[in-house]
């Protein structure tokens, strides 16, 4: 996954036009001061080569920065990178979410139970997605992050397309495991890249925009999956949404540059990778990180469970078609959730400049609002009111994204950023993605067998009970706010 390297381990870079192999015709790097007018790197920019040191024949972008090259990126280019990574994240959630809108059709075609559907959405995908995120992030802390994202995007897109060929539960299980393996390499390297492109004062906003990929991916996953399923069947839906991701991987590789480590803090330098046990000790040593990670994980427990089962709930209780459900849920989650993710980051950066604890208070408020509205939504039988109420929790719970991931990057030492993100995602996904959808399915089947409930009512009560877990999320974020100032002071001194 790393760039091709010479014997010294440095990455080959393309020289600027007209530069000699020794670098004498380019901008001086090693042993000289930074140029008065540093090069502006955009889509077509090149990094000038350094004079060859003893035993080395090439230079990495990080070496160039650490030698005083004054590498900079234009605002337009930084926004372009954010846009490309946002599209990658959108495809991440399209490929992840589409199973939910297709679940009822797959259940009827392959004869699956609710527990099996829950396993496909949760355990099968989530175990590999969560656990492999850590070793892939370890690679991202040392090697080229753009390459890693491009390779992983190709894997998960191909496995999504392969899902359309499944003939039974086990075939689909293997395909979903493949999707989970690929998607494990999406967010940790992306978070690390964005932390290097955007300074701390803009980081929550940038990661809030990046987090819009979740609701927008769900929007298109629902819309495309719902209508393609209705007219062409669930197998074709997997094929149609999977193949374009491979083209996006090519665009990413060709146009996105690997920035110097620590570039946004103006301390760009090469870093030595630290053992993961040190990452775990460092991040878990921050009380604020412990609390926010548990709060985010319990949020995901409810959120992933609702996202996975809301389409089936509406189809069972109101006899809606997959296209109708996909349109309704896609627009609600895509618009309300997208606004929530964007505003969460913007508000955290704005109010956090006055009191850093707002980074934790804003998500906490959202979770508290989501509890009564979620319970009310699942308790009533009027369709338009269910959909209207769903707007509120869809907006409120997405406020957490930018502040949570942005603050994790700010707490993490430079050499640990991708690994810290992977650790957070591991906690979130083990608790949320693995157990959320699976628990809803298990509870629904349990209520059917032990209480003789029809599947409409059993699913309703499973979703209501799980909604109460938002209260745990609220408590965790309030606790995280109490320790945030002290923990940030500690990491800034290290």
pLDDT range class, residue 25, cuts 50, 70, 90: very low
Largest CA distance in the chain: 81
* Cβ atoms of residues 340 and 394 within 8 Å: yes
pLDDT at residue 75 is higher than 90: no
pLDDT at 387: 94
pLDDT at 28: 36
Question: What is d(CA 11, CA 184) in angstroms, rounded to the nearest whole number?
Answer: 24
DSSP output for 69-84: ---EE-HHHHHHHHHH
pLDDT at 273: 66
Give the C-alpha distances (Å, rounded to integers) separating 164 from 99, 171, 223.
Answer: 11, 10, 17
Read off the tokens for 112.
């699956």
Task: Let me know if 379 is exposed, middle or buried by CB neighbors in 10 A (0-12, 13-18, 19+).
Answer: middle
pLDDT at 249: 94
pLDDT range class, residue 213, cuts 50, 70, 90: confident
pLDDT at 95: 87
pLDDT at residue 52 is higher than 90: no
DSSP state of 270: -
* Cβ atoms of residues 271 and 205 within 8 Å: no
Residues 6+ apart with CB under 8 A from 79: none
pLDDT at residue 480 is higher than 90: yes
Q: 40: which strand partners?
A: 72
pLDDT at residue 57 is higher than 50: no
pLDDT at residue 49 is higher than 80: no
Cα angle: 363, vertex 364, 366; to 5 degrees:
65
Alpha-carbon 3 to chain mean position: 24
Tell me which of 417 and 326 has the higher pLDDT: 326
What's the average model confidence in pLDDT over 192-214?
83
pLDDT at 161: 92
pLDDT at 70: 59
Residue with the two structure tokens 């992983």: 152
Question: What is d(CA 187, CA 422) in angstroms, rounded to the nearest whole number?
Answer: 8
When mean pLDDT is compared over 97-106, 374-383, 417-426, the highest value belongs to 374-383
* Cβ atoms of residues 156 and 186 within 8 Å: yes
Strands 72-73 and 40-41 come out as parallel
Nearest to 304 by CA among 148, 168, 171, 129: 129
Read off the tokens for 18.
């007209």
Phi, psi dihedral angles at 396 (to 5 degrees):
-65, -45
Q: What's the mean pLDDT when you consider all of the chain?
A: 80
Read off the tokens for 78.
């930084």
Nearest to 460 by CA among 373, 392, 384, 375: 375
Q: How many helices (H) and strands (E) does the chain have?
A: 22, 2
Nearest to 147 by CA among 177, 190, 181: 190
Residues 6+ apart with CB under 8 A from 231: 323
What's the average model confidence in pLDDT over 103-109?
86
Q: Which domains does the chain have, with CATH numbers?
A: 78-257+275-414+424-434+454-493 (1.20.1250.20)
* Cβ atoms of residues 37 and 71 within 8 Å: no
* Cβ atoms of residues 125 and 180 within 8 Å: yes
pLDDT range class, residue 271, cuts 50, 70, 90: low
pLDDT at 56: 37
Question: What is d(CA 479, CA 281) in angstroms, rounded to the nearest whole number?
Answer: 20
* Cβ atoms of residues 121 and 100 within 8 Å: yes
pLDDT at 474: 97
pLDDT at 264: 63
Read off the tokens for 442.
């298990």
Residues 6+ apart with CB under 8 A from 261: 62, 196, 268, 269, 270, 271, 414, 415
What's the average model confidence in pLDDT over 421-425?
85
Type and span of the H or E element at 296: helix 287-318
Residue with the two structure tokens 């979130």: 428
Nearest to 52 by CA among 91, 19, 88: 19
């Amino acid at each position: 996954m790393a760039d091709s390297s010479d014997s010294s381990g440095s990455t080959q870079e393309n020289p600027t036009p007209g530069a000699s192999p020794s670098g004498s015709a380019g901008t001086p790097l090693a042993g000289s001061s930074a140029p008065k007018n540093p090069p502006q790197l955009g889509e077509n920019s090149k990094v000038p080569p350094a004079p060859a040191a003893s035993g080395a024949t090439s230079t990495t972008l990080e070496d160039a920065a650490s030698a005083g090259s004054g590498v900079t990126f234009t605002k337009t280019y930084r926004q372009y990178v954010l846009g490309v990574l946002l599209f990658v994240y959108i495809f991440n959630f399209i490929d992840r979410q589409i199973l939910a809108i297709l679940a009822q059709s797959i259940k009827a075609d392959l004869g699956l139970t609710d527990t099996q559907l829950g396993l496909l959405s949760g355990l099968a995908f989530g175990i590999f997605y969560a656990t492999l995120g850590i070793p892939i992030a370890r690679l991202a802390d040392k090697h080229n992050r753009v390459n890693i994202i491009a390779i992983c995007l190709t894997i998960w897109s191909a496995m999504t397309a392969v899902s359309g060929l499944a003939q039974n539960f086990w075939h689909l299980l293997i395909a979903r495991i493949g999707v989970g393996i690929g998607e494990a390499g999406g967010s940790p390297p992306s978070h690390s890249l964005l932390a290097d492109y955007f300074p701390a004062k803009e980081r929550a906003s940038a990661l809030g925009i990046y987090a819009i990929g979740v609701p927008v991916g769900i929007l298109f996953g629902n819309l495309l999956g719902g209508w393609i399923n209705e007219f062409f069947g669930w197998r074709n839906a997997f094929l149609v949404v999977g193949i374009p991701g491979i083209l996006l991987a090519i665009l990413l590789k060709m146009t996105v540059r690997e920035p110097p480590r620590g570039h946004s803090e103006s301390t760009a330098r090469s870093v030595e990778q630290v053992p993961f046990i040190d990452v775990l000790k460092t991040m878990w040593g921050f009380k604020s990180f412990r609390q926010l990670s548990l709060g985010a994980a319990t949020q995901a427990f409810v959120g992933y469970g609702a996202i996975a089962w809301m389409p089936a709930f509406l189809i069972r209780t109101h006899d809606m078609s997959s296209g109708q459900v996909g349109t309704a849920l896609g627009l609600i989650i895509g618009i309300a959730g997208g606004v929530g993710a964007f505003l969460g980051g913007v508000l955290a950066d704005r109010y956090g400049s006055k009191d850093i604890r707002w980074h934790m208070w804003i998500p906490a408020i959202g979770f508290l609002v989501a509890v009564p509205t979620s319970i009310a939504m699942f308790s009533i039988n009027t369709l338009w009111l269910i959909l209207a109420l769903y707007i509120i929790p869809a907006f409120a719970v997405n406020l957490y994204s930018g502040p949570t991931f942005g603050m994790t990057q700010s707490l993490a030492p430079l050499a640990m950023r991708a690994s810290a993100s992977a650790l957070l995602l591991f906690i979130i996904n083990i608790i949320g993605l693995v157990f959320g959808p699976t628990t809803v399915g298990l509870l629904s089947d349990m209520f059917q067998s032990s209480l003789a409930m029809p599947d409409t009512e059993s699913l309703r009560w499973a979703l209501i009970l799980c909604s109460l877990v938002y209260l745990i999320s609220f408590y965790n974020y309030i606790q995280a706010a109490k320790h945030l100032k002290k923990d940030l002071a500690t990491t800034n001194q290290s």
